[in-house]
């Protein structure tokens, strides 16, 4: 008779970074072989703190990054941007236009936008290049009641195709051309509730950010004014956390309860991060109405990259 020694694992440590959002998890080596209890602890911390950070995960490569991602759900490719590895990894490389210095939630121009994003730092500049996250659940909860009632009853149209040159004058002509050729190769328009009920926590979260084109039933000027009021509550410094990256760091965020912003202040120093996104579900508003894809008629199969290792030369400004 053989006896099997019980597998001992020490529970990961979770320490808050900000009062309303963000925690550092230590004592975990990320990968596909984590035990169920550790994965459950990570998921629980992620749902509570909205973004969690891990230091010293230099051992990860595209394969183990993806394998770890599968412990949280099904990886999904970007709807338009070819992957960096022919599978699911999106390269966010400043040298190739990969800047994200606008507040946004990833891929909200499609109905079932990702539940989680997992970002791994490969090349980090000597200064700058931080990322900020904002908690869209506490932003909603902190709204004055009349604004909560207004938001509960609004729906917004999100698109990946807008006038980048007008919105982002700092983009070069080449960046603007890339946006049209790669990122907006297919124009998506999706109507989401402005307030969705989180499928795992039951919290109400605001669904806004840079892909919002207008609010349903409102003209351009009213849309801009109302979105501006709600967005200002999301971006309040007390509602955010700011992360100073080191090489080997991993950040995972609940994309259904956050917005984020990549600060573009590292001058000409390179900055390269790799992202895997995990499939989400179609948002449901407080009235039970689901998000609706307006165009095209269905979300086409994602355009995966070509041969493995083939890098895209066109990571867009917002991803
Ligand atoms: Fe992003």
Active-site entry in 106, 175, 249, 254: 106
Instruction: Specify whether the CB–CB gap between 80 and 185 falls below 8 A.
Output: yes
Is 104 catalytic? The answer is yes
Side-by-side strand order, sheet with 258-262: 240-243, 131-135, 258-262
Long-range CB pairs of 171-174 (<8 Å, 24+ gap) are 171/317, 174/97
In order of their start, the domains of the chain are: 13-295 (3.60.130.10)
- What integer is the mean pLDDT of 122-129? 97
CA–chain centroid gap for 140, Å, is 18
- 91 close to 272: Cβ distance less than 8 angstroms: yes
Cβ atoms of residues 91 and 311 within 8 Å: yes
If you measure from the C-alpha of residue 107 to the centroid of ligand 1, how many angstroms do you get, rounded to a whole number? 8
Average pLDDT, the chain: 90
Token pair listed for 186: 């297919």
More confident residue, 313 or 212: 212
Please name the residues in contact with 216: beta carbons below 8 A apart, sequence gap of 6 or more: 154, 155, 156, 157, 191
- CA–centroid distance, 113 to ligand 1, in Å, is 12
Q: Is the pTM of this model over 0.85?
A: yes
In the reported structure, the alpha carbon of residue 220 is separated from the centroid of ligand 1 by a whole-number distance in angstroms of 25
233 part of the active site:
no
How far is the CA of 195 from the CAs of 18, 139, 142, 207, 265, in angstroms?
Answer: 24, 11, 13, 6, 32
Q: How far apart are CA 209 and CA 234, in angstroms?
A: 9
DSSP bridge partners of 247: none
Name which of 126, 133, 129, 60 is nearest 94 in CA terms. Answer: 129
CA of 6 to the centre of ligand 1 (A): 41
Average pLDDT rounded to a whole number, residues 93-100: 72
pLDDT tens, position by position, 185-216: 899 999 999 999 999 999 999 999 999 999 99
The tokens for 86 are 């022919």
CA distance 279 to 271: 26
* CA separation for the pair 64, 248 (Å, rounded): 13
Q: What is the CA radius of gyration of the chain?
A: 19
Neighbours of ion ligand 1 (CB under 5 A): 100, 106
- CA of 261 relative to ligand 1 center, distance in Å: 7
Q: How far is the CA of 152 from the centre of ligand 1 (A)?
A: 25
CA-based nearest residue to 254, from 198, 170, 192, 298: 198
Q: Give the model confidence (pLDDT) of 11-41 as tens digits.
A: 899 999 999 999 999 999 999 999 999 999 9
Active-site entry in 43, 78, 99, 104: 104
Q: Which of 304, 271, 274, 253 is nearest to 66 (CA)?
A: 274
Which pLDDT band holds residue 319 (cuts at 50, 70, 90)? low
């Amino acid at each position: 008779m053989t006896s099997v020694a019980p597998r001992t694992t020490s529970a990961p440590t979770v320490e808050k970074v900000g009062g309303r959002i963000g925690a550092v998890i230590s004592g975990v080596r990320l990968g596909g072989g984590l035990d169920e209890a550790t994965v459950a602890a990570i998921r629980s911390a992620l749902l509570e703190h909205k973004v969690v950070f891990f230091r010293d995960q230099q051992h990860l490569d595209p394969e183990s990054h993806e394998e770890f991602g599968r412990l949280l759900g099904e990886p999904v490719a970007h709807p338009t941007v070819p992957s960096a590895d022919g599978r699911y990894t999106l390269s966010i490389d400043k040298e190739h236009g990969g800047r994200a210095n606008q507040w946004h939630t990833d891929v909200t121009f499609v109905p079932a936008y990702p539940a989680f994003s997992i970002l791994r730092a490969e090349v980090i500049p000597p200064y700058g290049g931080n990322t900020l996250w904002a908690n869209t659940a506490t932003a909603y909860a902190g709204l004055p009641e009349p604004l909560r009632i207004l938001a509960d009853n609004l729906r917004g149209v999100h698109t990946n195709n807008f006038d980048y040159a007008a919105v982002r004058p700092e983009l070069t002509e080449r960046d603007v051309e890339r946006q049209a050729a790669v990122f907006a190769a297919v124009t998506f328009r999706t109507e989401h509730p402005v307030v969705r009920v989180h499928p795992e926590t039951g919290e109400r979260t605001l669904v806004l950010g840079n892909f919002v084109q207008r609010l349903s039933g409102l003209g351009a000027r009213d849309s801009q004014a109302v979105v501006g009021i709600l967005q200002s509550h999301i971006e309040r410094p007390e509602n955010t956390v700011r992360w100073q990256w080191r090489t080997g760091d991993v950040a995972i965020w609940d994309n259904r309860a956050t917005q984020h912003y990549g600060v573009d202040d590292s001058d000409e120093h390179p900055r390269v991060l790799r992202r895997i996104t995990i499939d989400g579900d179609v948002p449901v508003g407080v009235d039970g109405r689901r998000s609706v894809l307006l165009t095209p008629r269905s979300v086409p199969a994602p355009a995966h990259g070509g041969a493995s290792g083939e890098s895209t030369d066109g990571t867009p400004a917002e991803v």
